Amino acid sequence: MLIGLLLASALIGLLCIPLLRLHARLQQRRLAEQVEAFVSRKNQSCLSGKAVLAICNPKGGQRTALAVFDGVLQPMCKSLGINLDLVVTTHAGHAEEIAKNVSADVALVICLSGDGMLHEVVQGLSKDGAMRIPIAILPCGSSNGICKSLYSTVDPFEATKQILQGGRQAASLVGVKALGEGQVTSDIMGLSHAVVMDVNEIVEVKLRWMNSFPFGAELKGIAAALFVIARMKKHHVVVKFLPAASTEDDMKMHYTPPTADGNAFRSKLRPVESPLGEDGGTWYTFEDGVTWCETMNVAWLAYDVQASAGLMVSDPFMDIIVSRGHSRLQLLKSFLKAEEGKHVEDPWFEFAFGLAACVGARAWSNGVHVQGRWLVADLLPRV
């Protein structure tokens, strides 16, 4: 089935390639004009005269990182008097090695990459749950969800302008670990399971070779989404979470109170003892077959999937999104509404926020991937 969907997506892509190439050329021309207009003006930045390090993954996403550095970041930094250095990664884990050795006199580290390499840099720069040097990201990957969450755009020029001329913004990190183990991995995105993990495995593993083709990222994304909807595999999970306090305004955002009654799609949650062995409030749990299961620390899972509408990176809680009991058509309708974040309005979605969460199943984070054990996501102090 995946091969059939891939062939269908490829056929559609081939028919659209002339239009897509024209659109890409127009975008490149507009980007060059924006940068030229910027450097021709007198601009100011709090980073002027300071050292900034750019870490570039030349093979991430559609391999645009070096072009964004040469055509956008470098000329804009030069016009602002920023001392910019570049390091290009050569292998997996290289970004973390670079980040661990970044000098303390560097004012900012900018990642030209997708969300995956940003995670490596976070690991290299974080210490005891805090960042020793501020970081930023430019959209050079396939999904670019963190860039969209931080700057509300995946336009390279607009994101660069915000990074170089805007102020710092606080962000909460998520600590992820296997229950019972001491090693904690810091993450920004959160904890993924079920359909998102299925799509990620197809896009980033099975079809990663398509990145080298024109518009390969778009084609493999379409094929993967159609495949998981058609298959609609249900994942058996046990989810436990510590809810954060909610208000009437939160209810208007379609958050589900943990004490709410169930409906035709979901059963009522039940209280449970803390799996972490600490007395910090009442935990709630459910056990079921789910299709969508996310613990989100940012609003955008990808540039076109707003998993948690309204969630800010500085919010002192995580969003927990679960879907169950629906048909394929209902899931497809939810996917089509995900860019606007309206999928959580569907009655088969559970939408809550918590201070900590445990998922007892095969689950994935940028740095932790376990099967058959409890995976814990816990908020760390804001940085």
Q: What is the pLDDT along the chain (383 residues), one digit of tens a residue?
A: 545 544 555 555 555 656 656 656 777 788 889 999 999 998 889 999 999 999 999 987 778 899 999 999 999 999 999 999 999 999 988 999 999 999 989 999 999 998 888 988 988 988 766 788 999 999 998 789 999 999 999 999 999 999 999 877 878 888 887 766 667 777 888 888 888 878 877 877 777 777 666 666 667 777 787 888 888 888 888 888 888 877 777 766 778 888 888 888 888 899 998 887 777 788 998 888 888 888 888 999 888 889 988 888 888 888 889 998 888 889 888 888 988 999 988 999 988 888 888 776 544 444 444 444 466 666 664 44
Rounded Cα gap, residues 207 and 220, in angstroms: 6
Helix axes 216-231, 2-39, angle to 10 degrees: 140
Closest CA to 144 of 191, 175, 189, 86: 189
Composition of the chain by helix, strand, coil, percent to 5: 35, 25, 35
For residue 109, give the 3-state DSSP assignment.
strand
**What is the reported pLDDT for 68?**
95
**What is the reported pLDDT for 136?**
94
Check if the beta carbon of residue 320 is closer than 8 Å to that of residue 352.
Answer: yes
User: Token pair 């996310």 is at which residue?
Assistant: 294
**What is the reported pLDDT for 8?**
56
**What is the reported pLDDT for 24?**
66
**What is the reported pLDDT for 370?**
40
Check if the beta carbon of residue 174 is closer than 8 Å to that of residue 147.
Answer: no
Pick the CATH number of 174-382 from 2.60.200.40, 3.30.460.10, 1.20.1250.20, 3.90.950.20: 2.60.200.40
User: Which two structure tokens, joined as six digits, stand for 367?
Assistant: 């740095």
**What is the reported pLDDT for 158?**
95
- State the number of CA atoms in the 13 A half-sphere of 133 facing the CB: 25
Pick the CATH number of 43-169 from 3.20.20.70, 1.20.1260.10, 3.30.1370.10, 3.40.50.10330: 3.40.50.10330
**What is the reported pLDDT for 371?**
42
For residue 59, give the 3-state DSSP assignment.
coil
Name the residue ranges covered by the structural domains of the chain.
43-169, 174-382
Residues in the chain: 383
**What is the reported pLDDT for 175?**
80
Check if the beta carbon of residue 309 is closer than 8 Å to that of residue 341.
Answer: yes
How many Cβ atoms sit within 10 Å of the Cβ of residue 65? 28
Rounded Cα gap, residues 103 and 93, in angstroms: 19
End-to-end CA distance of the chain: 45
**What is the reported pLDDT for 372?**
41
